[in-house]
């Protein structure tokens, strides 16, 4: 019987049975002392009384157990997505006061969820509007700056300032794009379209993207991993995350240094590792590298905007993965992206 699963109820029934048995024993002892014989009617009446008390207790607890099971079923229905599920609480008593409080909590949670949905919809629309508003003037400024560069071939000073303007415009465009991406991820406006992807092919795309920069800066970009590793992921977003880590590694390495992209598949997870032998991360900064716009006072990188690593973290976590960093100041850093395999999700 389910009610006897509760050890306190079992103890109560045992205590009642013990009390009734003790009463019967004492009563029979009193009768024996008076009449030198046991009383069969007293024995039968005592047994009937004991059975009656136990039956009433069982009926009460059985009814309470049924009420609690119904309440648990309504809670499970709510958790499964039925936002209209409520527990009946029309009677009096402390238990029904608890059920009323649970119903009130469900109503409040529904209101918060609805407000969050509306806020996300508003944020999504705002992001779209901001995107259009920013792209147009940036495109125009790039065109104007290109015209200035073309007209300033014989004017070195103007040409220098035009080149600097181009660099700042590129930084501004990168900042805007990263802000839009990370905000859309925060707002839940992007759905990861996961599919089985070959990790080696994805990493070769990343290598090709940075090959020219690595050659110009005299740095080595190495790929290490099996050709048959497959990852269930959104290809574009995962490539974006790894690219941000590779860019960060190139920003913090010098000529002659190397950046290595490794991948491996275990029984429960697939890992992608971006490691370098550059400047590393100062111990003071190791806990803040994924904080947005965080700039280390020890960093020699003057071009970064502090969004690449937070964006990579947001992308990995949107895949239900994790990202960790291990670094030794002056010796290099290693970022590890860990994605659980589908059978472990």
Taking only the tens place, the pLDDT of each residue in 19-42 is: 878 877 777 777 777 777 767 777
204-243 burial string, b = 16+ CB within 10 Å, else e? eebbeebeeebeeeebebeeebeeebebbbbbebbbbbbb
> What average pLDDT does the chain have?
82
Over residues 79-120, the pLDDT tens digits come to: 888 888 888 887 887 888 888 888 899 889 989 888 877 877
Task: Give the mean model confidence (pLDDT) for residues 215-244.
Answer: 91
Encoding tokens for residue 65?
């157990």
Q: Give dist(CA 270, CA 242) in Å, integer.
A: 14
Is residue 342's pLDDT more than 70? yes
Q: What is the pLDDT of residue 334?
A: 94
Q: What is the pLDDT of residue 225?
A: 92
Report the C-alpha dihedral over residues 165, 170, 171, 172, rounded to 10 degrees: 90
Encoding tokens for residue 84?
């209209």
Q: Give dist(CA 316, CA 328) in Å, integer.
A: 23
Q: How confident is the model at residue 299 (pLDDT cuts 50, 70, 90)?
A: low
Q: Give dist(CA 277, CA 256) in Å, integer.
A: 10
User: Token pair 């995350």 is at which residue?
Assistant: 241
- For residues 296 and 282, the answer to whether their CB atoms sit within 8 Å is yes
Q: Give dist(CA 250, CA 220) in Å, integer.
A: 10
Over residues 61-80, the pLDDT tens digits come to: 778 888 888 888 888 888 88
Q: How many CB atoms lie within 10 A of CB 75?
A: 16
Is residue 201's pLDDT more than 90? yes
CA angle 148, 150, 151 (to 5 degrees): 65
Q: What is the pLDDT of residue 246?
A: 93
Q: What is the pLDDT of residue 306?
A: 67
Task: Give the mean model confidence (pLDDT) for residues 182-208.
Answer: 82
Q: What is the pLDDT of residue 300?
A: 58
Q: What is the pLDDT of residue 45?
A: 78
Q: Give dist(CA 246, CA 75) in Å, integer.
A: 47
Is residue 229's pLDDT more than 80? yes
- For residues 268 and 344, the answer to whether their CB atoms sit within 8 Å is yes
Encoding tokens for residue 87?
């527990």
Is residue 326's pLDDT more than 80? yes
Task: Give the mean model confidence (pLDDT) for residues 296-314.
Answer: 70
Instruction: For residue 301, give the nearest of 252, 265, 261 by alpha carbon.
Output: 252
Over residues 138-169, the pLDDT tens digits come to: 778 888 778 777 777 777 778 778 777 877 77
Task: Give the mean model confidence (pLDDT) for residues 297-302.
Answer: 58
Residue 261, helix vs strand vs coil:
strand
Is residue 304's pLDDT more than 60? no
Over residues 245-281, the pLDDT tens digits come to: 999 899 889 999 999 999 999 888 999 999 999 888 8
């Amino acid at each position: 019987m389910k009610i006897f699963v509760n050890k306190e109820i079992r103890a109560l029934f045992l205590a009642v049975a013990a009390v009734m048995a003790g009463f019967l024993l004492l009563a029979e002892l009193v009768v024996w002392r008076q009449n030198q014989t046991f009383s069969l009617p007293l024995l039968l009446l005592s047994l009937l009384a004991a059975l009656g008390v136990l039956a009433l207790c069982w009926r009460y607890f059985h009814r309470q157990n049924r009420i609690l099971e119904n309440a648990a079923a309504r809670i499970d229905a709510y958790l499964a997505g039925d936002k209209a599920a409520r527990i009946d609480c029309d009677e009096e008593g402390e238990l029904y006061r608890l059920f009323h409080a649970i119903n009130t909590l469900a109503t409040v949670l529904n209101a918060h969820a609805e407000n969050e949905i509306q806020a996300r919809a508003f944020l999504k629309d705002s992001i779209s509007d901001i995107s259009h508003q920013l792209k147009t003037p940036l495109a125009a400024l790039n065109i104007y700056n290109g015209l200035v560069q073309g007209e300033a071939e014989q004017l070195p000073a103007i040409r220098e300032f035009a080149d600097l303007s181009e660099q700042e415009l590129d930084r501004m465009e990168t900042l805007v794009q990263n802000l839009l991406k990370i905000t859309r991820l925060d707002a839940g406006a992007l759905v990861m379209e996961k599919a089985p992807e070959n990790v080696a092919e994805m990493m070769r795309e990343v290598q090709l993207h940075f090959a020219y920069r690595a050659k110009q800066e005299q740095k080595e970009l190495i790929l290490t991993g099996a050709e048959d590793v497959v990852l269930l992921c959104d290809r574009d977003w995962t490539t974006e995350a790894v690219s941000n880590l590779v860019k960060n590694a190139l920003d913090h390495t010098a000529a002659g240094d190397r950046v290595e992209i490794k991948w491996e598949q275990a029984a429960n997870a697939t890992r992608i590792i971006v490691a370098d032998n550059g400047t590393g991360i100062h111990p003071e900064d190791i806990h803040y590298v994924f904080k947005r716009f965080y700039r280390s006072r020890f960093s020699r990188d003057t071009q970064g905007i502090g969004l690449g690593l937070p964006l990579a973290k947001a992308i990995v976590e949107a895949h239900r993965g994790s990202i960790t960093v291990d670094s030794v100041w002056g010796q290099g850093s290693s970022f590890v992206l860990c994605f659980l395999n589908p059978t472990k999700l």
